[in-house]
């Protein structure tokens, strides 16, 4: 499981969020890139501390005296000196970075899950052409057994993750799952290198005689530009647009820019997308990025955009909302976002890529610092009812109601099961690696 990836920036195209590079190459963003004489554990720890003292956004929070002998490696150094405000920094191996960011793949079955009430497991999504998708597993299905052992038993024993096996191609497991209508299936799935398509679904829906473009954007990595084009190519002449980022933990800011520019088009292109603000020692790096299409081709020129969110919507997902708001009407539906108005520029130290927070982001109106998350216009609970685009999906149904009536529906009390599913989602951490850790 544990497929790692993140959000970041290159020297000029800063990323927002969690790690990675804004560019489309495999170049290093820092460090000597080698694994030789300067790469002992002690050297790595010292280089990492020096880097933190120069570039960490909360540099004032680093203790003046740090005894590196107290820390086993740079992972431990980060945990020992990070600011109490920092929920976001992390470290990847170079291989993890290349797999998830550059190559967009991991060894697995190809599905993401949530654990509800510590006794049940439901599927949030599957990746195209993965073993899970090819077996017929889809969003809202419940995984009930692994190799004949009930999921409830595995969860109670703390062996659920182990039962699914490690991230190695060729591992096979017999899975049993139940559809929302009660139908059950059992099949043997074998792990492969799963390609992580970043647009999970796209369609044109009819709502109140209007044509509504709808797509699910799950991450921002190197392949996202082309994935966005595939979605927007379907949306010629649409009256409204719904961007679903409910599980999107962030990624490269350039693709948040592209998504917003393709949606709002001439209303925003050439205007301020984001301002990047660095620590007190690096004010000379502060810069402004304008809205632009990047890899985008089709633009819609809409003056209103709907965005579906949950507490798992982080970083670059939040940038779409915050950056569009000064220029077009953004209707946010679901629940408050995770609250990550800061980002990282990855630094290579030997065989590691460090993703420590380097900067904060503000929009054209200098609005940012939403560490408590961005609020919604209409509240709705992310309850699993069916596959993507199901009209009964609470978030999508609320968007449809607003498109039809220009207002939010009455806020009905959620069922106990819906509340449990929402709590399971909110328990996910705010880093993109927390998103990967729910993917198997």
Tell whether the model's pLDDT for residue 28 goes beyond 50: no
Per-residue confidence (pLDDT) for residue 30, from 0 to 100 = 36
Tell me which of 33 and 312 has the higher pLDDT: 312
pLDDT value of residue 370:
98
Q: What tens digit of pLDDT does each residue of 325-339 get?
A: 999 999 999 999 999
* Residue 95: pLDDT band with limits 50, 70, 90: confident
Q: Identify which has the larger pLDDT, 238 or 15.
A: 238
CATH of 199-341+361-436, one of 3.40.50.920, 3.90.226.10, 3.40.50.150, 3.50.50.60: 3.90.226.10
pLDDT over 80 (residue 26): no
3-state secondary structure of 222: coil
- Going by pLDDT thresholds of 50, 70 and 90, the confidence category of residue 11 is very low
- Three-class SS of residue 194? strand
DSSP string of 133-161?
HHHT--TT-EEEEETTEEHHHHHHHT-HH
Give the pLDDT score at 32.
Answer: 41
Q: Residue range 2-15: average pLDDT? A: 36
Instruction: Decide the pairing of beta strands 342-344 and 357-362.
Output: antiparallel
pTM of the model: 0.90
Element (H, E) at 88: none
Mean of the per-residue pLDDT values of the chain = 89
**CA 275 to mean position of chain CA atoms:** 21
So what's the pLDDT on residue 423? 64
- Find out whether 260 and 273 touch, Cβ atoms under 8 Å: yes
Average pLDDT over residues 344-352: 95
pLDDT score for 417: 62
**Where does the pLDDT of residue 101 fall: very low under 50, low under 70, confident under 90, or very high at 90 and above?**
confident
Highest mean pLDDT among 11-15, 32-36, 66-70, 102-106: 66-70
Q: What is the DSSP letter of 416?
A: H
Task: For domain 108-195, give the CATH superfamily.
Answer: PDZ domain (2.30.42.10)
pLDDT value, residue 160: 96
What's the average model confidence in pLDDT over 262-277?
99
Question: Is residue 29 pLDDT above 80, yes or no?
Answer: no
| pLDDT value, residue 325 | 99
**Ranges of CATH 3.90.226.10 domains, the chain:** 199-341+361-436
Residue 5 has pLDDT above 70, yes or no: no
pLDDT at 133: 98
Q: What is the pLDDT of residues 133-188, one digit of tens each?
A: 999 999 999 999 999 999 999 999 999 999 999 999 999 999 999 999 999 999 99
Residue 23 has pLDDT above 50, yes or no: no
Q: Mark residue 33 as left, alpha or beta (left: phi above 0; alpha: psi -120 to 50; beta: remaining).
A: left
Instruction: Point out the least confidently predicted range of 30-39, 297-306, 389-398.
Output: 30-39
Question: For residue range 176-212, what is the model confidence (pLDDT) as tens digits?
Answer: 999 999 999 999 999 999 999 999 999 999 999 999 9
At 222, list the tokens. Answer: 């190197």
Distance of alpha carbon 107 from alpha carbon 352, whole angstroms: 20
Is pLDDT at 413 greater than 60 in this prediction?
Answer: no
pLDDT band at 292 (very low <50, low <70, confident <90, very high): very high
Contacts of 22 (CB under 8 A, 6+ apart): 8, 9, 10, 12, 13, 14, 15, 252, 253, 254
> Residue 246 pLDDT more than 50?
yes
For the ranges 123-127, 195-199, 428-432, which has the lowest average pLDDT? 428-432
pLDDT in tens, 368-397: 999 999 999 999 999 999 999 999 999 999
d(CA 260, CA 300): 10
Query: Where does CATH 2.30.42.10 sit in the chain?
Result: 108-195
């Amino acid at each position: 499981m544990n497929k790692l990836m993140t959000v970041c920036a290159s020297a000029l195209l800063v990323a927002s969020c969690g790690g990675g590079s804004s560019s489309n190459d495999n170049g290093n963003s820092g460090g000597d890139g080698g694994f030789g004489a300067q790469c002992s554990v002690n050297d790595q720890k010292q280089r990492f501390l020096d880097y933190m003292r120069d570039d960490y956004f909360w540099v004032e929070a680093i203790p003046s005296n740090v005894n590196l002998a107290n820390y086993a490696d740079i992972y431990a150094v980060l945990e020992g000196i990070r600011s109490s405000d920092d929920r976001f920094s992390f470290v990847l191996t170079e291989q993890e970075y290349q797999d998830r960011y550059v190559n967009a793949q991991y060894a697995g079955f190809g599905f993401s899950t949530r654990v509800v009430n510590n006794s049940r497991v439901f599927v949030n999504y599957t990746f195209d052409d993965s073993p899970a998708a090819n077996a017929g597993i889809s969003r809202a299905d419940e995984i009930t057994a692994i190799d004949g052992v009930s999921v409830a038993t595995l969860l109670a024993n703390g062996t659920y993750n182990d039962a699914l096996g490690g991230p190695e191609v060729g591992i096979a497991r017999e899975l049993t799952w139940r559809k929302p209508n009660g139908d059950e299936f059992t099949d043997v799935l074998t792990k492969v290198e799963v390609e992580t398509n970043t647009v999970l679904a796209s369609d044109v829906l009819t709502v109140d005689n209007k044509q509504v473009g709808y797509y699910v954007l799950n991450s921002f990595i190197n392949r996202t530009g082309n994935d966005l084009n595939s979605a927007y190519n379907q949306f010629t002449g649409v009256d409204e647009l719904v961007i679903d980022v409910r599980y999107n933990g962030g990624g490269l800011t350039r693709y948040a820019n592209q998504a917003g520019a393709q949606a709002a088009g001439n209303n925003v292109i050439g205007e301020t997308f984001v301002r990047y603000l660095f620590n007190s020692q690096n004010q000379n790096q502060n810069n402004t990025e304008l809205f632009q299409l990047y890899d985008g081709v089709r633009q819609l020129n809409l003056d209103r955009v709907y965005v579906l969110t949950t507490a798992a919507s982080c970083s670059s997902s939040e940038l779409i909302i915050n950056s569009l708001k000064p220029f077009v009407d953004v209707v946010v539906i679901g629940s408050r976002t995770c609250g990550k108005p800061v980002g990282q520029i990855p630094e290579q130290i030997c065989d590691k890529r460090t993703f420590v927070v380097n900067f904060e982001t503000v929009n054209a109106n200098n609005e940012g610092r939403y560490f408590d998350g961005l609020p919604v216009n209409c509240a709705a609970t992310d309850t699993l009812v069916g596959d993507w685009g199901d009209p009964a999906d609470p978030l999508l149904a609320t968007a449809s109601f607003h498109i039809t009536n220009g207002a939010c529906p009455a806020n009905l009390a959620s069922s106990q099961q819906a509340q449990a599913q929402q709590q399971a989602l909110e328990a996910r951490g705010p880093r993109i690696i927390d998103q990967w850790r729910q993917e198997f």
